[in-house]
Amino acid sequence: MPLLLAFTGRFTPHRRVAVPRTAGDLNPSGVEGPVPGGVDALRALKLSLIAGTVFFIGTVYWTGTVIIEFGDVPRVVAAVGVVLMSMYLATYHVIGLLVTSRVIARLGARGLFFAPIGWVGGEFLRGVLLGGFPWLPLGNSQVDVLPVAQLASLLGVYGLSALVAYINATAAFALLRSGRSRLVAIATAAVVLFGIAGWGTLRIRDGSLMRQGTPIRVGIIQPNIEQSAKLAADSDARQARRIFTTNIAMTRDVVKRGAQFVIWPESSIPFKFERDPRGEDIRSLAREVQVPILFGSDQQTGMFEKTAIYNAAYEVRPDGRTAAVYRKIHLVPFGEFVPLRKWLFFLRPLVDSFLDFSAGDAMVMLPIGSHQASTAICYEVVYPSLVREAVNMGSELLTTITNDGWYGHSSAPYQHFEMAKMRSIEEGRYLVRAANTGISGVVDPYGREVRRSAIFEEVGLVEEVRFLTGRTIYARIGDVVGYVSLALVLLTPLVLWRGRV
């Protein structure tokens, strides 16, 4: 809201006016007076870039910590990298907010109601362009406001972003206007907000998704292996044995407590499953406990110059055979591949330490008896479209495996878990999350936490979930709000330019 007010706070007169305006259109007191001609575009550019950069520095600051600790990068270089990354992410929002400033210039205070379109257009573009980075969309701020968050089952997280931006635009409008127009704006926003919250409350209270489907008890393994030990396991047989035996012992324990399907975290074994004799121990374990096991492991294909490495998830059947292999599609920039590698000479210590992973190209279903589940590896779960694709392919249960041990005690594991919860609401599915150092847990189809672990604890969780087959409206229509908003952001400047007189 302060950014929107800033857009309306300084105007520069134009000689030409696009359309006739009502006198006093932006006068907070409502007194008749001359109408300014337009918003200072340069001011809007600077304010939106500064606001966006500050926001992303405050939310993805932990990327700097990671490259300092694990990439041997000087603190100054890491700090510059975080600022540059934040500025890059902010540019997507600058695009939408600049268009918003032009609309305000034409329509006055009423143009503030274009802000939800401008914001969501930029946010959606950030999530899809160049692989996308849809980290912490505005709508995710409502994931724990459960009655409001149910809107995601209709319009997805971008619909929630539009709602939050609309309420803030209304507040800004109310501060700039007085009289009947202010009352109408506030009353309309109140009806929209309380109408959505009322419907969401009834949806949760109905709870029909909690009674549908087939139940299954899932075991979640959180072995709490520190990242330094995982990195050392390649050359330290003692560490590798400790990691492997911990997962095996915890699996036996959760099966004794009733688990019918066991999930290990991302990269949970210190070797390549298909290329190491120890892989047979996992097959033997599955035959011993007679339950399917899902676990993360690197997969290598080809030889020599044709070698490809994938971050993969394997499912082993109760008879020990491989049921499915899913290869991670959305790779982490500077974590699993280095974009523009040859241009980043100033980050050479970090760049040279990485062997780029290859990206998978298809969603894969995981057969669990007569049912189907799906998984998302690490930050893939923040992509609404990927999880929606899985549901539309027949996934009845969402799972996600991750290793957030890279991020220490920062806010990253908490942010990651909160974004995963949104996928449950969007798709009307249970979501099971196994994280090496936490947060692991189970989320129900309404976004409620059934069980949640603490970070940096060794724990095996066993919880009942349900295979569900119904599809939400969002699962059927997808990110319509995002596409429409982006289209309007791109078309509005053309409309404004054609409408000049």
CA distance 216 to 352: 45
Q: Which amino acid is at 331?
A: L
Query: Closest by alpha carbon to 116, among 370, 495, 486, 494?
Result: 486
Q: Which amino acid, one-letter code, is at 40?
A: D
CB 447 within 8 A of CB 421: yes
Task: Indicate which residue of 123, 230, 266, 421 is catalytic.
Answer: 266
Helices 115-128 and 152-176, packing angle to 10 deg: 140
Q: Is 266 a catalytic residue?
A: yes
Q: What is the CA radius of gyration of the chain?
A: 25
What sections of 290-372 are H helices per DSSP? 348-351
CA distance 243 to 430: 28
Tokens of 472: 């939400």
Q: How far apart are CA 374 and CA 61, in angstroms?
A: 31
Parallel, antiparallel, or unpaired: how do β-strands 366-368 and 322-327 relate? Answer: unpaired
Long-range contact set of residues 488-491: C-beta below 8 Å, sequence gap at least 24: 488/117, 488/121, 489/95, 489/96, 489/99, 489/117, 489/118, 489/121, 489/122, 490/121
Structure tokens at 309: 């490495």
* Closest C-alpha to 365, from 252, 214, 467: 467
From its phi and psi, is residue 236 left (phi > 0), alpha (psi between -120 and 50) or beta? beta
Active site residue 418: no
Among residues 123, 230, 328, 418, the one annotated as catalytic is: 328
Q: Distance (Å, rounded) from C-alpha 128 to C-alpha 215?
A: 35
Strand, coil or helix: 45 = helix
Q: Annotated catalytic residue: which of 123, 230, 315, 378?
A: 378
As a whole number of angstroms, the distance between CA 24 and CA 41 comes to 21
Could you tell me which of 137, 134, 41, 126 has the C-alpha nearest to residue 91? 126
Q: What are phi and psi of 314, to 5 degrees?
A: -110, 140
Catalytic residue status for 449 = no
Catalytic amino acids?
266, 328, 378
